């Protein structure tokens, strides 16, 4: 087991900020490293329908990033009624305001998919100490496991 071949691959949910970060001077290095880790088989990227819908509005350079990854690097996460209910529980608990419901939805999709980790550059509504505590308090109350939330800088 020393070479890690028996280790389970880390399943990492990424939001739009990470993919878009590959084309941003401030976030490029770590965002691209994270995608390279997936390409190299070091982790599995969880990609939701919500992420794909948000990327549809992005510049072509951003849209091209995920399709360029080999299929075995990506696990698709479908939207579900269960994730909608959990998102609504976050909103009802005022973890984030309703205007930021997609941020709550990303966390709900990752939680329901049992991601090992959510990676985001969204320091206001996702990767924030109080928000992480709020999301995990709701997760525990609703019968879900707590979820780790980190920036790409903490993962690469």
CATH assignment at residue 69: 3.40.50.1010
Residue 73 banded pLDDT, cuts 50, 70, 90: very high
* 100 CB-side CA count, 13 A: 16
pLDDT at 3 over 60: no
Domain of residue 73, residue span: 11-155
Task: Provide the mean pLDDT of the chain.
Answer: 95
Residue 7 banded pLDDT, cuts 50, 70, 90: confident
Percent of the chain's residues with pLDDT above 70: 96
In a domain, 50, yes or no: yes
Q: What is the pLDDT of residues 102-132, one digit of tens each?
A: 999 999 999 999 999 999 999 999 999 999 9
For residue 4, what pLDDT is reported? 55
Residue 1 banded pLDDT, cuts 50, 70, 90: very low
CA distances 139 to 36, 45, 59, Å, are 30, 22, 34
Tokens, residue 150:
């980190």
Number of domain units in the chain: 1
| Positive or negative torsion for Cα 151, 101, 79, 70 | negative
Instruction: Say if residues 63 and 86 touch (Cβ distance below 8 Å).
Output: no
CA distances 127 to 9, 14, 86, Å, are 22, 12, 18
Instruction: Say if residues 106 and 48 touch (Cβ distance below 8 Å).
Output: yes
For residues 40 and 25, what is the distance between their CA atoms, to the nearest angstrom? 23
In a domain, 61, yes or no: yes
Q: What is the pLDDT of residues 75-105, one digit of tens each?
A: 999 999 999 999 999 999 999 999 999 999 9
Instruction: Say if residues 115 and 11 touch (Cβ distance below 8 Å).
Output: yes
pTM: 0.93
In a domain, 3, yes or no: no
In a domain, 48, yes or no: yes
CA distances 101 to 56, 64, 92, 141, 156, Å, are 18, 26, 11, 19, 28
In a domain, 5, yes or no: no
Percent of the chain's residues with pLDDT above 90: 95
CB atoms within 10 A of CB 108: 31
Instruction: Say if residues 51 and 15 touch (Cβ distance below 8 Å).
Output: yes
């Amino acid at each position: 087991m020393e070479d890690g071949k028996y280790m389970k691959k880390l399943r990492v949910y990424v939001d739009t900020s990470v993919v878009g970060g590959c084309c941003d001077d401030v976030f490029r290095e770590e965002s691209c490293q994270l995608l390279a880790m997936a390409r190299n088989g070091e982790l599995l990227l969880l990609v939701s329908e919500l992420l794909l819908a948000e990327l549809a509005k992005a510049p072509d350079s951003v849209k091209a990033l995920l399709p360029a990854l080999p299929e075995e690097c990506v696990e698709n996460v479908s939207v579900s009624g269960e994730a909608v209910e959990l998102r609504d529980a976050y909103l009802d608990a005022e973890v984030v305001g309703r205007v930021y419901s997609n941020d709550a939805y990303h966390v709900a999709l990752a939680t329901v998919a049992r991601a090992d980790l959510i990676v985001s550059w969204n320091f206001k509504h996702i990767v924030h100490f109080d928000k992480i505590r709020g999301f995990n308090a709701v997760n525990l109350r609703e019968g879900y496991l707590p979820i780790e939330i980190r920036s790409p800088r903490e993962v690469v």
